[in-house]
Amino acid sequence: MSAREVNHHTVRSEKIKKPLTFAVVSDLHNGPYEDVLDELAKADAILVLGDLVNRHRRGYDNAVRFLQDAPKLAPTFYAIGNHEWKFDQRDEYWPHVEKSRVQVIDNTFTLFEGVVLGGLSSTPDGEEKTDFLSAMEKQPGFTLLMCHHPEMYQPFVQGHDIDLTLAGHAHGGQVRFFGRGWFSPDQGIFPKLTSGWYFDKKLLVSRGMFNSTWAPRINNPCELIMLHLKGLNDE
């Protein structure tokens, strides 16, 4: 595994009534996470953008331990990625999710400390269920959507009044040169949405916490994102 970074991003909005810090965990893929426990403990909430498990390999022990450990540190919210759907041990794994103190946000939204927090799930058939976005955008407060696939932003999210969307899945483009990735699942060669900010800071893409395949990362360390939400006058 490449070295894992902790990267901080700040968003300011008049809709944010109190400063909050969210730890953004994407694409853990049943990998280790002990090195970021101290950072997770600093967060007001932990947002899991999907792919806690790895469908390319058997086993889910680290994913289950994360489900047990994370809620002890902060309230934890879990959106569903493609690996959750396609995992051949899903029937064994998912009861652990249901027994945990993690809140799954599956094509719906909830309220956390004045933030309207939604989850747009990956689906096994490609038929995304987006009806909830129309209700979500009408809620008072800052709207934050967890959506595992960045390529779903333009066709499904951009037309809605959602303040910020968080995504992963692209693994930073796997190999990065000249500030761009070279390949991403579902985006192919020279993907456009792989790391950092897009669409006037409406979409933030994580490079992910761990590799899911043997393919090496080059110039592309794994990352944990610490997202700081602040009001316009907060320090």
3-state helix, strand, coil in the chain (%, to 5): 20, 30, 50
pLDDT of res. 42: 98
pLDDT for position 142 = 98
Count CA atoms closer than 13 A to 163's CA, side-chain side: 19
- Rounded Cα distance, 110 and 205, in Å: 22
pLDDT of residue 108: 97
pLDDT value, residue 215: 77
Residue-level pLDDT at 127 = 74
Sign of CA dihedral 110, 55, 149, 21: positive
Tokens read off for 111:
């309220």
Residue bearing tokens 């043997």: 214
Would you call 218 helix, strand, or coil by DSSP?
strand
CA distance 203 to 189: 21
pLDDT at 126: 66
Task: Please name which of 75, 132, 131 lies closest in space to residue 108, comparing C-alpha atoms.
Answer: 132
Q: Are strands 180-181 and 176-177 parallel, antiparallel or unpaired?
A: antiparallel
For the chain, 235 residues long, give each residue's pLDDT as a single digit of tens. 446 899 999 999 999 999 999 999 999 999 999 999 999 999 999 999 999 999 988 899 999 999 999 999 999 999 999 999 889 899 999 999 999 999 999 999 999 999 999 999 988 766 788 999 999 999 999 999 999 999 999 999 999 999 999 999 999 988 898 888 988 888 989 999 999 999 999 999 999 999 877 778 888 999 999 999 999 999 8
DSSP type of residue 74: S
Which residue ranges form the domains of the chain, and what is each CATH number? 4-230 (3.60.21)
> What is the pLDDT at residue 47?
98
Other CB atoms closer than 10 Å to residue 232's CB: what's the count? 9
State both tokens at 113: 């400390």
